[in-house]
Structure 1
Amino acid sequence: MKINQTPGVNGINPYQKQLKKADAAQAASPANGDKLEISSAAKEMQDSSRILAERREKIALLKEQITDGTYKTDANATAKAMLDFYGKQ
Structure 2
Amino acid sequence: MKINPMNMSGIQAYQRTQNQKQAQTKAADAKTDKVEISYQAKEMQETSQIDKERADKVAALRQQVQSGNYKADPEKIAQGLYNYYVKK
Q: TM-score, normalised by structure 2?
A: 0.45
The structure with the largest alpha-carbon Rg is: 1
